[in-house]
Structure 1
């Protein structure tokens, strides 16, 4: 998954979810404990270090080898309903129970296949834990090879979003899509919802015939809409990579193995923006080995998608907010593609080891960007990411500043989705590159992806492999103490290599000159700036500016009306802090149009600093809520609920009657609009 940090610019949500799970109905025997604490699981031989604390599953006893779905997709009821059939691989000769993760699922029937056909099985659905959902324990005294669960999702499933036609680009057909990472797959399929379990899957999906249904599987570019769809995923994947979407979707190719699915009004712009996708695939293959997933397609989702991208195999989900017309934000595509090696192919065994997914991917992403767009651009992105990491560390608990998070330190797996996993992880790999040389590290990584292909591993497994296959390549290049510090100590080690960007240095000089003289940099300079340079220009501003300074910038560059979300997420908080009232109407429209958490949470956080701003934020949120994904809704609600506003506002926001969704700023014509 890719999303620069909320406080800087990488893509990482800092707001932990607090989604309240509801009681699921329809079980044969339902446990009714007095509290919502999940029933304790029996002790096993699995160590506390290895156990995935965010799943009830017991993969040391039995694992799902294959999943077959047969579901009806109903836009009217906003549900998926049908059966999930599991082919099981029993690991423990004494095990007679299958434990699955669920959240808000109505379990209607559980059956096991025997010589006499399908027979009912007894099961217990525990009361829900607010984070983990409900433990589904199925009694299997005959250790059935096949078990089938009939179930129905909730309209409020945390991993699904259902959009009315008015919330789509075309405005005629409804839209739905899933977001399974980190532990939301359990809200639409009962599963062993842990990255340590990988399985193949197939699916039959029935829907209304005027929408196209897609999954993270073998989507046929020539498929016709007929309401009856079948999918196969022959490569084993973990549950968080299972995905589904349905809507007014058409396909356009980029190459023989890559293309774009999108709404008709969006597809042409997306194909033009992401035209380099095939070259990205070839570049990564040259570095790290063959692409093993056959096709690589992009699905452009509505603006309510809560993240920048999601690396669902064969079908990356992509936010439309990176389509800005100049390819300045296509590093997100490089990131999601890189996951085809780091994350999808070699997967962290639990979310405690998130850096194995995101740190490796961020490093590979930067190598792709360098190969295609040059070292200057790659270095700028490294600098921006690391500046964001340093800011985030100031507000991050020390136990979450380590790459390998200890058991119990991340109550919510989303706690690990921060700049530490992404940017400290990538920084560590750059440290290894500096010590061993790029050629040696590339050979090691290629061997690593081959050796652990289609496996889920822990940090300890990586360390063991590195000690065997990398460290001996150059004796004393990295000491045991340095390795331990990078992986298990908070903060940034003193050994971290420093990347400088001369182009960002010029931006710093231009900003300082303006702050000192009120003379804006010449248009001949800013006309060539990329989004990265404009990001750096805004991020380096003082906490507040005068109204005159804000007006000067807005008149020159049109920041209040920018279509570039990366710039909007930095400009609007500055406008709030500076009392720049002109920005409030376009800010309101932005918050109601965009559901990507990384772009909107900083704006809500800034508004929540004052009582009047908080009241304004709540009014906007009520209007925006119907178009937000459940994950986004929970994050915004948490931000507003936990706000501690100051009584004196910087500016009085407009009254409720002026909170509209499609208004402009002050009508000025920007003289030198920023890239995108």
Structure 2
């Protein structure tokens, strides 16, 4: 690799953070919090140590729905004096700018505050909503919800270290995106340290009736007691995943890698909080067939956590690399045929997203302009699958060894830094494209990054294992009975079954679905991916035997990936709008605000 010097110091302004309107930057957080389940609030203090505070007239933080009680400035000796502060006008998405005036000699700012009971990042679960009949709290800070549970500079381009003290009910365990306890503290007081600098969206907190099971010297899993044995079995290959990732792209830089299995209301498949990935229980399939999601979150320990998108307009730099990396891990562990299935399913999801958004829409560009919008609108398959497809195209042009060397050096050179699209493209050209004349033109780089849709030079993924599935679909379309496929389907993975369900005609009758259900027991499946692919068929055909299972799924699973398509499918049926409203009224308290924000708009639009 060339030895040219690159820097990410001059980053673009972040349209989703007020922090850029002040000169001071935070560098370390001391957090002291009390968790109150009765009022569903957090209360305490944040103390922000500042970088270059002497050159600044003020420090600006992001806050949303926070009650700011007092603000003090601290000098080098720790002496506190009241500080003048101002909360700017409230914006529904961005919240408010908290501007604190800095007197001479002030090196830190201490803020006493309280969260709202409706804080968007916080999911408070009643005992009946958990597996162990105990209350539960978890946070979801990505993309810009950290500001709803602590005043912070809530931009992915600003990093800080932190120490925290958290007090909780004595029978509950507290965990954070930091070094974590493995046993209950009898006093309910927990101390945390994160020595590696992280952006605010990777701040995480969970409190519940949790237990820990080690998987290796540096990996383990936390879960509610009833869930822990299943989770320990499901994630038995976690250490192998970490070792495979290190073999691909360099050392793991975060010391431990543990998982926390959350209750079903968690809105995503996983969240890559450093040292403690949050995962949905919907991947506990019993056969380890859905653990590519864990490989994805692990890969974020390099792409995202180590080298981070500078703004949410650059989100593809996190997710495109992560999807590519995830599938390389799965190939390393389970073979190319397994990874091929993931690529085919991912490409199908990308084509569906492009069709849904519109092939000419600028929202299908990799580099987005989300100014004035909620950055959650950019969390689509474009960033994930189009980003991965770009790297697959690059791999096809330069070969894996060269691409792997480039990626390894990229992660090493920009560790614990932010990266924007322009800087990345400059680096890509200098290190990989420019040394080979004509390579950028063959890659058609501009069409990928600033153009709509999927460029025509994207390699088309194929799967030998899916060919067998397609043969089975062909037999069904030719009139064969579903039961005749049973011997051949005995060893199918979840991915093959999902491909099968996606390949079924959309015009199947209730009688035909009953025949499929009798053979393959889809309605009774415990696999969330299979159920999510099966239910659209049952809704279209008004297949009554699946109605109770669908309602149970919608009421108890909070994962947005599943809920949005299923509510859309329900709304498209003749009596669907009324039924959707009835189910949603009961289910909504189980969903996180990330999910309800999307579904509120969907049901308002369609009903």
Q: TM-score range by the shorter chain?
A: over 0.9
Mapping for residues 123-272 of structure 1, pairs under 5 Å: 123-142=85-104, 144-171=106-133, 173-222=134-183, 224-272=185-233
Instruction: Name the CA distance, whole Å, in 1 between partners of 2:556 and 2:548.
Output: 12
How many positions carry a matched residue from both structures? 595
Alignment counterpart, residue 484 of structure 1, candidates 426, 446, 461: 446
Mapping for residues 566-581 of structure 1, pairs under 5 Å: 566-581=529-544
- Following superposition, the deviation at residue 472 of structure 1 comes to 4.4
Normalized against structure 1, the TM-score is what?
0.86
Mapping for residues 2-21 of structure 1, pairs under 5 Å: none
* 1:367 aligned onto 2:367: no
Alignment counterpart, residue 609 of structure 1, candidates 569, 572, 583: 572
Q: Render the CA deviation track for 1:451-483: whole Å, top value 9, x for unaligned.
A: 000000101111111122112454433328711
Q: Render the CA deviation track for 1:346-369: whole Å, top value 9, x for unaligned.
A: 000001010110000000000000
Which deviates more, 189-198 or 140-149? 140-149
Change (3 A) 1:92 1:485: farther
Which deviates more, 544-553 or 290-299? 544-553
* 1:519 aligned onto 2:481: yes
* 1:560 aligned onto 2:502: no
Q: Which residue of 1 aligns with 2:581?
A: 618
Alignment counterpart, residue 411 of structure 1, candidates 325, 348, 373: 373
Contact (CA 8 Å) 1:60, 1:91: kept in 2 or not? no
Q: Which residue of 2 aligns with 1:70?
A: 32
Q: What is the DSSP-based 3-state SS (H/G/I as helix, E as strand, rest coil) of the residue aligned with 1:411?
A: coil
Instruction: Name the CA distance, whole Å, in 2 between partners of 1:222 and 1:624.
Output: 33
Q: Which residue of 2 aligns with 1:395?
A: 356
Q: Which residue of 2 aligns with 1:31?
A: none
- Following superposition, the deviation at residue 344 of structure 1 comes to 0.2
Q: Which residue of 1 aligns with 2:3?
A: none
Q: Which residue of 2 aligns with 1:30?
A: none
Alignment counterpart, residue 254 of structure 2, candidates 284, 293, 302: 293
Contact (CA 8 Å) 1:163, 1:176: kept in 2 or not? yes
Contact (CA 8 Å) 2:570, 2:577: kept in 1 or not? yes
User: Per chain length, whose mean CA-contact separation is higher, i.e. which structure has more relative contact order (CA < 8 Å, sep 6+)?
Assistant: 1
Contact (CA 8 Å) 2:312, 2:370: kept in 1 or not? no
Instruction: Name the CA distance, whole Å, in 1 between partners of 2:546 and 2:442.
Output: 53
Q: Render the CA deviation track for 1:354-396: whole Å, top value 9, x for unaligned.
A: 0110000000000000000111110011011101101110121
Mapping for residues 443-592 of structure 1, pairs under 5 Å: 443-472=405-434, 474-479=436-441, 482-520=444-482, 521-592=484-555
Q: Render the CA deviation track for 1:118-160: whole Å, top value 9, x for unaligned.
A: 1111211123211111221112243621101110001111001
Change (3 A) 1:164 1:298: same
- Following superposition, the deviation at residue 92 of structure 1 comes to 8.5
Gaps spanning 5+ residues in structure 2: where?
1-8
Q: Which residue of 2 aligns with 1:660?
A: none
Instruction: Name the CA distance, whole Å, in 1 between partners of 2:333 and 2:195.
Output: 31
Contact (CA 8 Å) 1:211, 1:225: kept in 2 or not? no
Q: What is the DSSP-based 3-state SS (H/G/I as helix, E as strand, rest coil) of the residue aligned with 2:14?
A: coil
Q: Which residue of 1 aligns with 2:274?
A: 313
Normalized against structure 2, the TM-score is what?
0.95
Q: Which residue of 1 aligns with 2:287?
A: 326
Q: What is the DSSP-based 3-state SS (H/G/I as helix, E as strand, rest coil) of the residue aligned with 1:157?
A: coil
- Following superposition, the deviation at residue 579 of structure 1 comes to 1.5
Alignment counterpart, residue 636 of structure 1, candidates 594, 599, 605: 599
Q: Which residue of 2 aligns with 1:599?
A: 562
Q: What is the DSSP-based 3-state SS (H/G/I as helix, E as strand, rest coil) of the residue aligned with 1:561?
A: coil
Gaps spanning 5+ residues in structure 1: where?
1-45, 645-676
